[in-house]
Structure 1
């Protein structure tokens, strides 16, 4: 799909989506799935954008066949040649950046300005992994005085990469890069809710990558389950909910021994001590909720823990700041938050809010479906307070625009509350005391911690969680190496 001119209008993009012949990249060719056609819904309006056929079990088998057949030749190219091709793909995708941004805005309901940033980020991460090709090295080890003992990093072969709906292009682009540079072939399955940018990526990739190196398959949970259970898929990487992540672990184990990495949910805490920069804290508390994604972000700091001496001021100022977050159609100028991805997600978030109020929480801002945006699956940016740390709203991931604010008295209490949940993805600490900042950061059961910041992802810094938030690290050299397995070669000199 190519937009006729820029800047485009929403009507032009919607018409182009509706009239376009959407195909999947099945190894060596672009083709339609052979399964039942399913609608793709615009969450901002609830209108059907288009219908696209899902892949069948036979389609998935054929795709894995091609990926398996292509694996040896792709690995044999060597890391620098593979990296050069990934850079070429990044360049080709960059030429279509505006198309991808518009697709994600219409398909996922995410603000256009934010999707333009997402496109840049996804392409930059592709190039980052290409630049890391030099790190695919082994070791020479002193295993014996007479021998030569070396290790080499070897690809797994076929990798299944399953991604969610909240960063459609960014995840599609960035999360195929590491396995490709490492020498694997990849089968990418986007969310069935937001497949459009991944399908267009597949079309662009078909002009750049050798046949069979990348496939993009569209479909529901059955497609993902078949990929996971295929014995030729030895490495699986999934981003999404902890429930699905655990089912992937189980399904993979039922058919073999597989390497699995999981980037899952979060119920992340921002801890604000009484010496924090209040202005910076307020801005960061709003930023940390990732309202641009309607709170549909695993890294959102959705629990704000505030030391009691500054609690009232921070609570009131955060509520005022959230009340100013502008909600509307995601392609409109100045809109900061669009709709949720589906009716199911909307109802889920509103259910959390209703149950929290029934349990005694005080609603400060939002809390409902805005009447002026009844055409889409919108939930107002919401702030709640008055809950206990063990309340459902303080323990479970809402995955929506809902912030809970709670007081604490001591450093020990703050850490106890922060660590009381089953998740452990991100955390944030606000204080001017560097000793207290590091004590708290090291005590948090979280994989990615900010001091006096939230939400920022830094190139090359490993991102991932502990506990129910997953296993493995991404966005880093650790991710690249996770797509290799070590081979030891021992030469006995006589």
Structure 2
């Protein structure tokens, strides 16, 4: 795509055709007529009003998904044919990439360059990858006695309820929807009330690409009403959720209180990033640590929010991160030069600032940032923030801030570093910087995290699974392993 200027993005924003209705059974539905405003964090202005769904709309969407699963063509298509539809969805998303990126940027504050080059690339690749995988899966025929034939088949699990957050609204939706569709399931998606617009545009694109009615439905609304209705619904066979650990617990209760549906959770994180003095490049380690905590305004469950750095190099690494933080360009998400945009909204900004104030009260030293900025815009902006002298048992070191706030904790030996890293209820991701191959293997095994990056951070592709341990959840997104969440194993024993 040719370079687009700030003024051109602003002009495009005014011409956007934003959706306002639920997407149920292949059509846009207003539902009860109740609406809620979608506010842009870039300037505090209302983008549009969107249909607000409750139990009735969830019932309609689940009924449509059930019909599509029980009697529609989708689960009965040859896997290669399902794959071709998923690939066409990727093609339509590519054709609409600019408008989708612009919508994401407007509704949740992500810099437009990141929305276009990272978010949209990820969701397009996800649909294309699972489209290509759909007919590559095989069943099993275990060796049994000579007078019997055993077959183990993977069958689609049924209706999938997917609930996704606002920080990567299309990527995380794609991680749920694409493997579920590839397996032959049907889906009801509830996006965050902060970012429903991109999800509705995704549903439009899927319908245009030839996805049959009822196979993908989107119901908008908040968690306590719409999310709860989906979690409790007896017509939902599988629930896949990405979000906070506290809300994840609610979905487990919903499953227990309804039909014992399977619940797959990708939850919060407080990821350690360990820098040893023998790191192959300390400057690169510092630059990557800064990028990791400030990318996407720090609104990432995998953000390396705890920098565990050896005391012999702690000041050097911290100074380098502080310098990068001060040089980072915070600004309008629609400006291609912006490196860090707006936090998702006023309420979330307030929660992050509470953590900043508490950290100071707990004795941590503020090295840079910690202050709201660009207040004249009406948007929700925060300076990149770095604390050192952080106590390991303080709130800042233990609770997920979900903002551009880094905690620096020094250590003196490797055993102490591993103990600090694992001293958390979370277990989503971790980083390690070392030149020693043995150390890399031993520490990676010792870290209780679903993903460990060595001499890098946030690297990977769709071939590898993603998910957490401990209170960071269960199950895996991405890779062929994601299909395990949306299929059931059936054994057929034939006596010959």
Question: Could you tell me which residue of structure 1 aligns to residue 155 of structure 2?
Answer: 154
Question: Could you tell me which residue of structure 2 aligns to residue 286 of structure 1?
Answer: 290
Q: Hey, what's the Cα distance between the residues in 1 that align with 2:85 and 2:370?
A: 48
Q: Hey, what's the Cα distance between the residues in 1 that align with 2:230 and 2:301?
A: 24
The 5 Å alignment of 1:260-271 reads: 260-271=263-274
Contact 1:182 1:481 in 2 (8 A): no
Question: Could you tell me which residue of structure 2 aligns to residue 39 of structure 1?
Answer: 37
Are 2:127 and 1:129 equivalent residues in the alignment?
no
Question: Could you tell me which residue of structure 2 aligns to residue 140 of structure 1?
Answer: 141
The 5 Å alignment of 1:333-348 reads: 333-348=336-351
Are 2:462 and 1:459 equivalent residues in the alignment?
yes
- Aligned-residue offset at 1:284: 1.1
Q: Hey, what's the Cα distance between the residues in 2 that align with 1:320 and 1:312?
A: 12
The 5 Å alignment of 1:167-246 reads: 167-207=168-208, 208-221=210-223, 222-246=225-249
- Aligned-residue offset at 1:332: 1.1
> Could you report, residue by residue, the CA deviation over 1:424-461 in whole angstroms, capped at 9, with x for unpaired residues?
10000001011111111110010000000011232211
- The number of aligned residues is 487
Normalising by structure 2, report the TM-score: 0.95
Q: Hey, what's the Cα distance between the residues in 1 that align with 2:403 and 2:106?
A: 19
**Mean CA deviation greater in 456-465 or 136-145:** 136-145
Contact 1:431 1:437 in 2 (8 A): yes
Question: Could you tell me which residue of structure 1 aligns to residue 476 of structure 2?
Answer: 473
Question: Could you tell me which residue of structure 1 aligns to residue 11 of structure 2?
Answer: 12
Q: Hey, what's the Cα distance between the residues in 2 that align with 1:396 and 1:110?
A: 23
- Aligned-residue offset at 1:368: 1.0
**Mean CA deviation greater in 130-139 or 263-272:** 130-139
Q: Hey, what's the Cα distance between the residues in 2 that align with 1:317 and 1:8?
A: 34
Normalising by structure 1, report the TM-score: 0.95
Cα RMSD between the aligned structures?
Answer: 1.6
Q: Hey, what's the Cα distance between the residues in 1 that align with 2:321 and 2:366?
A: 13
Contact 1:33 1:218 in 2 (8 A): no
What secondary structure is seen at the aligned counterpart in 1 of 2:240?
Answer: strand
Contact 2:306 2:406 in 1 (8 A): yes
**Mean CA deviation greater in 185-194 or 20-29:** 20-29
Unaligned stretches of 5+ residues in structure 2 = none
Taking a change above 3 Å as real, the CA distance of residues 132 and 371 of structure 1, as seen in their structure-2 partners, is: closer
Segments of 4+ in structure 1 off by > 4 A?
Answer: 5-8, 371-374
- Aligned-residue offset at 1:177: 0.5
Q: Hey, what's the Cα distance between the residues in 2 that align with 1:315 and 1:98?
A: 37
- Aligned-residue offset at 1:327: 0.3
- Aligned-residue offset at 1:402: 0.2
What secondary structure is seen at the aligned counterpart in 2 of 1:93?
Answer: helix
